[in-house]
Structure 1
């Protein structure tokens, strides 16, 4: 499992201009089975995406394809983790 931690590096006006493409990308990756959750950081300085990918290389490629990243509005850190505990109902998150 991976977490993509996005940090905005451009003014929010530039982020907002890319938002429709970013949301379409999120939905497409969810439909492809890659993304299971996402949302804004509070305060609004970036966002987080929980992702499934078979390899780190694929996760990094997915993260780099984000319109925010491609458009220069955000930087992304790809964090890999292996859950050792999950709440009931989330057992599918364990590797």
Structure 2
């Protein structure tokens, strides 16, 4: 499982100019089963996405296609973790401890 932290690297008006394309891209990733949750940080200086994929390379490939990235308005920090405990709704993503 991955935590994707977005940090805006441009003023909010530049971010907002690409927001529609970013939301459409998010919708695609939800439809593919990659993204589990997402939203803005507070204060609004970026966002956070909870994601699943076969490996880090795949996540990096996916994030490189984010319109925010291609427009140069955000940078990603990718943190991989082993979900050994989850809410019942996320149980299928649990991994054994160890």
Please tell me the TM-score bracket, short chain as reference.
over 0.9
- Aligned 1:1-95 pairs, distance under 5 A: 1-95=1-95
Q: Distance in 2 between matches of 1:61 and 1:89?
A: 27
Q: Please report how far the alpha carbon of residue 87 of structure 1 lies from its aligned counterpart in structure 2 after TM superposition.
A: 2.3
CA contact (8 A) 1:68 1:74 kept: yes
Q: Distance in 1 between matches of 2:90 and 2:25?
A: 24
Misfit runs of 4+, over 4 Å:
none
Q: Please report how far the alpha carbon of residue 55 of structure 1 lies from its aligned counterpart in structure 2 after TM superposition.
A: 1.1
Gaps of 5+ in 2: none
SS of corresponding position for 1:43: coil
Gaps of 5+ in 1: none
TM-score of the two chains, using structure 2 as the length reference: 0.92
Q: Distance in 2 between matches of 1:88 and 1:25?
A: 27
Q: Distance in 2 between matches of 1:63 and 1:14?
A: 19
CA contact (8 A) 1:84 1:94 kept: yes
State the number of aligned residues.
Answer: 95
